[in-house]
Structure 1
Amino acid sequence: MSTPARPEDVDEICAALPQTEFGTSWGDVPTWKVPRGEKGRGFVLYRHPHHTAVDPATGEPYQDLLVIVTPGPGEKASLVDDPDLPFFTIDHFARTNAVLVQQSRLGELSRDELREVITDAWAHRAPARLAKEFFADG
């Protein structure tokens, strides 16, 4: 059995990828970006509670959402449509290739599964040469 993912694994995985930095996007949204510097593009965001994403059981906004970029609509659909995975989407993200996941549900994934999803997000936003070098070394 592989190790269940934990919320702290998100930062560890992101920080271990080449040329990443933790900053903000969309004003004040905590965001992991690649590459470092002004040209950095977000690939994992810690979403603030918002009325567009509410817990159906309580009607309250989720307090612990991550937004993880996907390479395209097919990858997004495969994550959202798999009933064994905790990923979902909302109307607000209908035209965005990104999935949502509650940090409190990350344990439903293995650390390796979480690393794969985050690495795909990183590769999609990283400069092509950087991603090519990373995968050639792996």
Structure 2
Amino acid sequence: MVSLDDVAGIATQLPEVVEIDRRGNRAWAVSATKRGGPTVFAWERQFSKADIRRYGAETPPTGPILAIRVADLHEKEAVLAANPDAFFTIPHFDGYAAVLVQLDEVTGPALRDAILDGWLACAPPELAERYRA
């Protein structure tokens, strides 16, 4: 099982990452962006009442949930297909380049890869290039 503290440890090892409070939840952002403010690439995501209603009689995933940005909708589909036990989506995320991760189900390596991909999707190109070098 992976915790939000594990997420923080992975995310904050990446360049220019800050942990912020986002509506009472933890989030991780690239601070060095051209838009002026930090760009969030991973965040703790609790289900809203509307999210839970959409599950109907089905039980929503349990445990801590993390949302992570991906480069585009094609990558989203690939991530979901590669690890369906831990990565999922909900109607609220339809058309949005992000996946949800059930931390009780994800492996450490899969989480590290997803966090890095989320960071790369949001980091300024010159920062991402320096990291890859």
Q: Does TM, scored on the shorter chain, surpass 0.5? A: yes
Name the structure 2 match of 1:48.
Answer: 46
1:32 aligns with 2:6: no
Percent identity among equivalent residues?
A: 28
Question: Structure 2: 5+ residue runs without aligned partners?
Answer: none
1:129 Cα offset (Å)? 0.8
Normalising by structure 2, report the TM-score: 0.81
1:114 Cα offset (Å)? 1.6
User: Which of 115, 124, 135 lines up with 2:132 in the alignment?
Assistant: 135
Aligned equivalents of 1:31, 1:134: Cα separation in 2: 21
Aligned residues: 128
Maintained 8 Å contact 1:22/1:32: yes
Residue 52 to residue 69, structure 1, CA distance change in 2 (3 Å): farther
Name the structure 1 match of 2:77.
Answer: 77
Aligned equivalents of 1:83, 1:15: Cα separation in 2: 24
SS in structure 2 opposite 1:79?
helix
Normalising by structure 1, report the TM-score: 0.78
SS in structure 2 opposite 1:104?
coil
Question: Structure 1: 5+ residue runs without aligned partners?
Answer: none
Residue 122 to residue 83, structure 1, CA distance change in 2 (3 Å): closer
Maintained 8 Å contact 2:43/2:66: yes
